[in-house]
Structure 1
Amino acid sequence: MELSPKETVIGFVGTGVMGKSMAKNLLKAGYRLNVYNRTKESAQELVQLGAVWKDTVAELAEASQVVISMVGYPKDVEKVYLGEGGLIAHAKAGSYLIDMTTSSPVLAKTLAAEGEKKGIHVLDAPVSGGDIGARDGKLVIMVGGQEKDFNAVIPVFEAMGTNIILQGPAGSGQYTKMCNQITIASNMIGVAEAMAYAQKSGLDPIRVLDSIGGGAAGSWSLSNLGPRMIKGDYAPGFYVKHIIKDIKIAIDSAQEMGLRTPGLELAKSLYEKLAAEGEENSGTQALIKLYQ
C-alpha cells in the first residue's frame, strides 16, 4: 500500500531549521499535516500554511497515519518514541513512524523492535543536504527498515528528497549517515584550511573556489560552505553542536566495531574547541574561525 497525499495524514515532530522546510514540502505535495514542537512559536509558520497544531506527541500520534520526527539528539528521540506519552505508546497499529534525526544505530534497532511488538512500522531515515537540500526538497535520504515498509512510504520521502535508498534492516540508515558524517567531518577541516590558506597567501578565494571546486578537490562542503566562509556568513544550515553530537555517535559506534578513526577524533577536538569559544550555535562553516 502506498501512502498518497489525498489519503494520508502525516504528523511531524520537530520544526527546527531542517524540519520546518521538510514539513513545508510535505504540505506542498498535498499531504494533510499535524505538527508538534517543544516551542509552539517555531511551528506557527506551518500552521499558517495549513498544518494543524497538536499539543502533545501522544495527540499527534493518535491523529496521524505516518509520523516523522526530526529532533536534536538521541535522548530526544528516545523520549519522543519510548516515553509514556510517546509515539510507540500512542500510534495506531499499522502506522508508520519514521525517525529522520541523525541518531544512534543501536537506538534505531530498539525502536524498530518495540514498534514491531505493537504492529507499528518503524524506519530510520536520516538525511543529508543541509538547509539548502531541505528547502529545495533535494535531500539524500538513507533508510533502514523492512523493504515493504520502505516501498509504502516512498511517496512521502519523494516530497522531501531526490536520492532515496534503502540501505538494509533497522539501523542501516543511521550507520550510513555515520559514513556521511565521517566523510564530512574530515572534509570540513580541509575546506576551512584551504580557504584560510587562500586568504593568507593573498589570493582571491572566490577565484580559488572557481578553480578547485570543479576538480578533484570538489565536494558539497567546498561548493556550498566555502562561499559562506569567505563571506563571513556563519548562520547555521547545520549547527556546530549537532556535528559534535554526530561525531560522538560515530566514534562510539566505530569503537563498538573495533575501528580506529583518527580523522574523526581530530575533527571532534577542533569542533569542541570552536564550541568552547561560543560558536556552538553557529553553522559548521564557522570552523574557519580557528584559522583566522
Structure 2
Amino acid sequence: MHTNTATNTPLLKVENLSWGIGSKAIVKQINLQLKRGQFVGLIGPNGAGKSSLLRCLYRYNQPTAGQVKFNDVNIWQLSSAQYAKYVAVVLQEAPQQFNLTLFDVVALGLTPHKSLFSATSHSDIEKINQAIARVNLTEHTQQQFESLSGGEKQRALIARAMVQQPQLLIMDEPTSHLDVKYQIQVMELAKSLGVTVFASFHDLNLAAAMCDQLVVINQGEIACSGTPSEVLNEAMLNTVFGVCAQVSQHPQPSSSGGVIPHISYFYGYQ
C-alpha cells in the first residue's frame, strides 16, 4: 500500500457513510476527516451509533453506503493484515486471552509485521518489554492476562498498540468500567503515543480534557463537531443529551495551552 503522508491529506476520510441492519439505519450519511496527529473524541448518548461507526472504521462492519479511506485508499481494498499494520483497536471489553501472559498479549502487536512462523527476535523482545515498562506493568510481565484488573488489562492493550506501531488508534469507550484514576491514565497513555487517535467517550469532561477535536453523534447522524470549547455548550448538552448543565472553564489549561471546558450538571430529572 502506498501511504500518502502529505500533511494536508487526511489520514482517515469518511464519505457519506451509512450502515444499518436490514431496513433499520443505524448510522446515516457520516462525513468526517481525521488529520494526522490529532486526538479526536466521539461523543453522543447511548444508542446514538458511536460503536457502529467505529466498527465501520476498523473493518468489523462493512458500510451499506459510502466509503472509508485511509491514506486515500478505500479500506476494503486492503487485506486485514495490511490494515492491521496501520490501525490498532482498543475496545471497551478486553478480549479474553485464555492462557496467555501479559507478555504474550503485548507481543500480539508484532503479528501484522511478522511472517507466519517467524521467530521473535531479541529486538522484538526488547520492544515488548519497553512497551510494558512504559505502561508501568513490568512486575506483571509473566502474569496471566485474565488475572489482571480492568485498568491493567487496558494498559496492556495500549502496550500492544505501542508494539504494533499504528498510524491510527481507534478506541471504543475503553475506560467505561475503570476507576477515575485509570480512566485518566489510559487516555493519557493513548495521547502520549503521538499517533492519530479516534476514541469514543462516555465521560464528557474526560473527552474535553483529552481531545483536540470532538465529533457529536446523535440518532446516527453528526450533530456538530469542533474543538471542545466550540462543541460543549449548554444548548448542545440539552438538545443531544437531554441534561441541564453549566459549562465553565477548567482551572488547568489543555496540553496545548488552551482552555478546557468543564461541565457541571444540574440534578432533578424525576
TM-score band w.r.t. shorter chain:
0.3 to 0.5
Structure whose residues are more often strand by fraction:
2
Structure whose residues are more often helix by fraction:
1
Please report the TM-score for the alignment, with normalisation by the length of structure 1: 0.34
Higher relative contact order (CA 8 A, sep 6+): 2
Please report the TM-score for the alignment, with normalisation by the length of structure 2: 0.36
